[in-house]
């Protein structure tokens, strides 16, 4: 595993350690998915810290998987492990993510991972020559089941 350093100005050392552990977990997920022959350990799931609060970190998640691997459960498995690590091993309070409404596969991943639909933004963004609707999901530490 590569030695990643994550540093955020003004973050206390324990929070910086949590960020480093998120980066290391992400690397482990990438290694695991490489075993199913995803190209060159390309990042497939990530958490980006958007805010540091006394309650914990607010993070935004994203993920990508090549079409030839769609509908085989790989992304749901990888993303659920990232979520599990975020809540069980890090100081994460809230995870958000979203997708275009037409991306049923991505929305299905969010639902299978226990996320809660929070918003539907009609005609929210420009994509492929059209204005499209975006859906947003969230998962709070208190909503996450540690028994999974």
The total domain count for the chain is: 1
CA distances from 68 to 29, 65, 98 (A): 19, 8, 22
| Helical axes 74-89 vs 13-34, angle rounded to 10° | 160
| pLDDT score at 41 | 45
pLDDT per residue over 1-35, tens digit each? 333 333 333 334 455 555 566 666 656 554 544 44
Residue 95 in contact with residue 83, Cβ under 8 Å? yes
* pTM (whole model) above 0.75: no
Is 133 among the domain residues? Answer: yes
pLDDT per residue over 28-64, tens digit each? 554 544 444 444 444 477 778 888 889 989 999 988 8
Is 3 among the domain residues? Answer: no
Tokens of 6: 């994550």
Domain around 28: 13-143
Is 148 among the domain residues? Answer: no
CATH number for 124: 3.40.630.30
Query: Going by DSSP bridges, is the β-strand pair 56-63/92-100 parallel, antiparallel, or unpaired?
Result: parallel
d(C-alpha 138, C-alpha 96), whole Å? 4
Is 6 among the domain residues? Answer: no
Is 69 among the domain residues? Answer: yes
Is 76 among the domain residues? Answer: yes
Is 116 among the domain residues? Answer: yes
CA distances from 80 to 96, 119, 123, 146 (A): 13, 21, 29, 11
Is 5 among the domain residues? Answer: no
């Amino acid at each position: 595993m590569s030695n990643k350093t994550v540093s955020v100005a003004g973050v206390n050392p324990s929070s910086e350690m949590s960020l480093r552990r998120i980066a290391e977990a992400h690397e482990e997920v990438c290694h695991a998915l490489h075993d199913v022959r995803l190209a060159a350990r390309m990042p497939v799931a990530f958490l980006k810290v958007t805010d540091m609060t006394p309650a914990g970190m607010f993070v935004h998640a994203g993920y990508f998987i090549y079409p030839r691997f769609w509908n085989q459960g790989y992304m749901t498995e990888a993303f659920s492990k990232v979520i599990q690590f975020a809540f069980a091993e890090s100081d994460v309070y809230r995870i958000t993510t979203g997708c275009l409404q037409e991306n049923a596969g991505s929305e299905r991943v969010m639902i299978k991972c226990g996320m809660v639909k929070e918003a539907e933004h009609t005609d929210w963004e420009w994509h492929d020559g059209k204005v499209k609707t975006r859906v947003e999901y969230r998962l709070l530490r208190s909503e996450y089941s540690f028994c999974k």
